Amino acid sequence: MDINNIQVGFKAERELLVNQDNTAKKYGSGAIEVFATPAMIGLMEGAAMDAVQSFLPDGFGTVGTLIQVNHVAATPIGMKVIAKAEVTQVNGKRITFRVEAYDEVGLIGEGVHERYIIDEVRFLEKVASKGTK
């Protein structure tokens, strides 16, 4: 597997509209109908995945292994959120990203995310064998 195509500086973005399905109340992570921290994290992880996926060989992907973020501002239903991810380090199969999320007013979250490159078939075989020994 050649992962040398992945370089510091690669970037991607994902966006969504805050609605009833991605609020803290719906996720069970809070009791208020504002954008949920778990939804923000998922959006950040998706942006990070998008930043590198097209540079991986067929049959390879990434899995998230670390997320350290601060959710610094609430976002109401009806507002757009954009997550941005940028590769900051590549160390073998481990890729580190700077992640940020913005709503239409400004920064709502920021932090660090790590993903590991995996062979999807081997990874799923290992997962399927879990608990069978």
List, by residue number, the catalytic residues. Answer: 37, 45, 71
Residue 43: phi, psi to the nearest 5?
-65, -40
Return d(Cα 22, Cα 32) in angstroms, integer: 11
Supply the DSSP symbol for 126.
H
Q: Could you tell me where the DSSP H helices lie in the chain?
A: 24-27, 37-53, 120-128
